[in-house]
Amino acid sequence: MDRMACVDVRGIDVAALLSEERERAAAAIAGTLRRFTPGVEPARYEPGVFWLDARGLDRLYPSLEAWARAVHRGLKEAGFEASVAAGTTRFAAYALARSRRGVTVFEDPALERAAAREAPLERIAMDPEARDALAKLGIRTVGQFIDLPPEGIAARFGPALHRLHRLASGKIRMPIEPERPEPPAAARIVLEHPESDASRLLALIERILEKVLDQVARRALALAEMKLILRFERIEERVETVRPASPAVDAGTIMNLIRLRVEALGALPDAVAEIEIAALAAPAAPRQLHLREIDARPPRRDLAAANRALARVRARLGAGAIERARLREGHLPEGRFRWEPMETLAGAAPRPSGVEAGAESAAARLIRRIHARPVPLPPRPRHEPDGWMLRGLEQGPVARVAGPYIVSGGWWNRPVHREYHFAETQKGELLWVYYDRARRLWYLHGRVE
């Protein structure tokens, strides 16, 4: 039987923080949680929520409740106010952590499911419009949501809510996919003959530093701080800290700082028998990483390497982290494609162009970029094209409008009548807009490039 827990951090408004602050806060919380289990999975789309793997901890804690209370106590000591729910299923633990305070523990799956059914639906992460629509139908708890027919959920609310419904009803069993933090970049060398000359010692340090910087650069990071550890032959080791003014990837900048640090030590108190460098990394600018690119580059299109990269991304972020759009039959433009998981990257199969393809294919192709949600627009003036400002002053008023191209129907679900137009602004931007007869509003659905 699975044993897992969900943690919902409440004492810190994680979602309101800036991106960098949110990452630091999440890393601090995850670090605290790893004191109690190595299996920690941060929620990808819900900052502040973490799933924990509680299997194999029986010899360390007398019960699941004792472990859950230890996790709650550890978070509180670290300065985080959170709720912890432990049980046997992922969704039930999540629903209970989001809807209750303190520590909640269920070792009986039936009791756990019954308690999760009482959780308010407003505490579950889902599309606000879908939640409002469910509320109008009187669906306000997880149990009422689970009792809905899955076919109706898929048809009316789409694949995202249908997947949530299957997860809540237990049709999908998702194991914990713990985040595996990379070990710090480090390298060391044990000297066959202990060294007491400072200049030769610096040459050895530079050799090790190159290895460490290569590790850091491969992770698309830069060195923010490094520990230089000198282990002597007869006396205790010495640790020196070197910190550049800003994260760096070039060995020259850091070696200058190391040289100054070693020279400040004066004469070495004893011969050095071992040297170790450990790096604290930070995000690097793309230009910094370009400086460390080697000349012997792999082929530009290495399919095996691309698939290995996809596998690493999937292993780190979860099975649903990589998706691609797939065309399908649909009535509305937004329903003519769906997102599906992408397992492997297929080889490129470009279409012939130029003379080989003929004049028709050689012509420039236009791309229509569609907004995930249509954007409401200001009303269209009675006398046009004078003053219909779709994109602000920088694009100017609409110069030409082509249309309408009518899309209507939806009598089987919700009647739809849209009048699509192509609107060209004075500065040349080509917009794809439509008038919704039911709402009596104009919307921007995309643009043509």
Please state, for a pLDDT cut of 90, what percent of the chain lies above it: 17
pLDDT given for residue 115 in this prediction: 93
**With 80 as the cut, is the pLDDT of residue 359 above it?**
no
Residue 311: pLDDT band (50, 70, 90) is: low
Q: Which residues pair with 418 in a beta bridge?
A: 407, 436
Q: Which residues pair with 425 in a beta bridge?
A: 398
Tens digits of residue pLDDT in 321-352: 778 888 877 777 777 777 787 767 777 666 65
Give dist(CA 21, CA 6) in Å, integer: 22
pLDDT given for residue 385 in this prediction: 47
Top pLDDT among 329 and 30 is at 30
Give dist(CA 61, CA 36) in Å, integer: 10
Query: Of 334, 311, 314, which Cα lies nearest the Cα of 159?
Result: 334
**With 50 as the cut, is the pLDDT of residue 361 above it?**
no
**With 50 as the cut, is the pLDDT of residue 162 above it?**
yes
**With 80 as the cut, is the pLDDT of residue 180 above it?**
no
Tens digits of residue pLDDT in 5-18: 888 886 555 444 45
In the chain, the domains with their CATH numbers are 4-168 (3.30.70.270), 186-291 (3.30.1490.100), 300-361 (no CATH), 366-448 (no CATH)
Tens digits of residue pLDDT in 246-296: 777 778 878 888 888 788 777 888 999 999 998 887 765 555 445 444 433
Residue 358: pLDDT band (50, 70, 90) is: very low
Least trusted range by pLDDT, from 95-99, 124-128, 320-324: 320-324
pLDDT given for residue 393 in this prediction: 63
Contact 204, 196 (CB under 8 A): no
Tens digits of residue pLDDT in 426-438: 777 888 888 888 8
pLDDT given for residue 296 in this prediction: 39
Please state, for a pLDDT cut of 70, what percent of the chain lies above it: 80
- The 10 Å Cβ neighbour count of residue 37 is 20
| Mean residue pLDDT across the chain | 80
Contact partners, residue 6, CB within 8 Å, separation at least 6: 49, 50, 51, 52, 84, 85, 90, 93, 94, 96, 97, 98
Angle between helices 198-218 and 251-265 (to 10 degrees): 140
**Quick one: average pLDDT of 402-406?**
83
**With 70 as the cut, is the pLDDT of residue 194 above it?**
yes
pLDDT given for residue 104 in this prediction: 93
Give dist(CA 67, CA 64) in Å, integer: 5
Q: Which residues pair with 248 in a beta bridge?
A: 223
Top pLDDT among 208 and 396 is at 208
CA dihedral 325, 331, 332, 335 (to 10 degrees): -30
**Quick one: average pLDDT of 197-225?**
85
pLDDT given for residue 97 in this prediction: 92
Structure tokens at 339: 């997102």
Q: Look up the pTM and report it.
A: 0.47
Give dist(CA 41, CA 47) in Å, integer: 11
